[in-house]
Amino acid sequence: MRKIFLDTNILLDYGQERARHDEAEAIFCLGDAGVIELFASYLSYANMGYILRGMEREAKYSLISLTREGVTVLPCDALQLDAALSRPVKDYEDMLQYQCALAAGCEAIITNNKKDYYEFSQIPFLTSEEFLLQLDYNDEEK
């Protein structure tokens, strides 16, 4: 089963029903169906708490809990921090996310903010739409 890393923006798209909610929901459904295995970093959930800080407490916890269902949460440790620090890049937070995905052996990163990953990622990174289209294309080839 493919190990897929979800960037924070995908979790927020799903939980907040933002513009790309349908795509994020389809990815979560694929995880629920056992087609792919979903991963996110502990850092994403910390970031969400900060991003949603103006939201009413119960609603915020409910939203974060929703995005936690079916997702394996990866730790962020000293090795990943040191790896991120050894290679200064434009977006430090994305580098930390990348190091988390790399350490877990994820095969792809799904993000709707690809611009900073071009600088360093050796793992394929796709928007939610690109990922779903790629899956459809691969299914049609079989």
What are the chain's domains? 6-126 (3.40.50.1010)
Number of Cα atoms under 13 Å in the Cβ half of residue 72: 15
What average pLDDT does this structure show over 126-130? 95
- At 17 the pLDDT is 84
Q: Please, which contacts does 131-139 make with residues 24 or more away whose CB atoms are closer than 8 Å?
A: 131/4, 131/27, 132/23, 132/26, 132/27, 135/30, 135/35
Gap between the Cα atoms of 108 and 125, Å rounded: 6
| pLDDT of res. 142 | 44
Residue with tokens 């990163």: 109
Question: Looking at the predicted structure, is the pLDDT value of residue 139 above 60?
Answer: no
Extract the tokens encoding 108: 């792809």
Q: What is the pLDDT of residues 63-122, one digit of tens each?
A: 999 999 999 999 989 999 999 999 888 889 999 999 999 999 999 999 998 888 888 899
Q: Print burial letters for 43-53: b (CB count within 10 Å at least 16), e (below 16).
A: bbbebbeeebe
pTM for the whole structure: 0.91
| Mean pLDDT of the chain, nearest integer | 91
